[in-house]
Amino acid sequence: MTSIYDFTLPDAQNRPVSFEQYRGKVLLIVNTATRCGLTPQYQELQDLYAQFHAQGLEILDFPCNQFREQAPESSEEIAQICQTRFGTEFTVFQKTKVNGPDESPLYTWLKQQKPEDKGGHAFKEMLLKLASLGEKREGSDIKWNFTKFLVNRNGEVVERFAPSVKPAEIADDLALLLS
């Protein structure tokens, strides 16, 4: 894949979603979990979506169970939990692997574009220690739930934010890309 628009992936209801429909939009792509200490970020993601969707923001939610099995529900259950608990209106995709031999080609591509997290350095070190208790993470691997990739209207990955960077902290970045 050479462009974000080349991907087609199944949503939580297993319907194919062509990323071509996002051409010209600003994307925030997030790997999430329903039982993580960072799960309250769902509310901030929804707040960003409500604030910026009309200007062209799309949030793409990829539940992931690779980090201490903090997303054990089915994809459909995760979508329902997010809608009920946090009022989310953005697209939830099928559960996805973000690291390892079975990782989603989307995440392989995203990590090639932006191999390092921005922000959250002290928290990142703590997460790396937690992650090392199980599977070892190396190089550009996603370190934890709620890593965020920001994609501009031209389909270019312009930033990768650490899990501890709250969605509200990137509102200025979004506003700039959407203006």
Tell me the average pLDDT of the chain.
Answer: 89
* Higher-scoring residue by pLDDT: 123, 100: 100
pLDDT in tens, 30-45: 999 887 878 889 999 9
pLDDT in tens, 145-167: 999 999 999 999 999 999 989 99
Question: Quick check: is 36 catalytic?
Answer: yes
Q: How many domains does the chain fold into? A: 1
Least confident of 42-51, 68-77, 168-177: 68-77
Q: Which of 4, 12, 36, 165 is catalytic?
A: 36
* Domain that residue 164 falls in: 4-178
What pLDDT, on a 0 to 100 scale, did the predictor assign at position 27? 98
Return the CATH number at 165.
3.40.30.10
Q: Are the C-beta atoms of 89 and 46 separated by less than 8 Å?
A: yes
Q: Is 151 helix (H, G, I), strand (E, B) or coil?
A: strand
What pLDDT, on a 0 to 100 scale, did the predictor assign at position 136? 57
The number of beta carbons lying within 10 Å of the beta carbon of residue 157 is 18
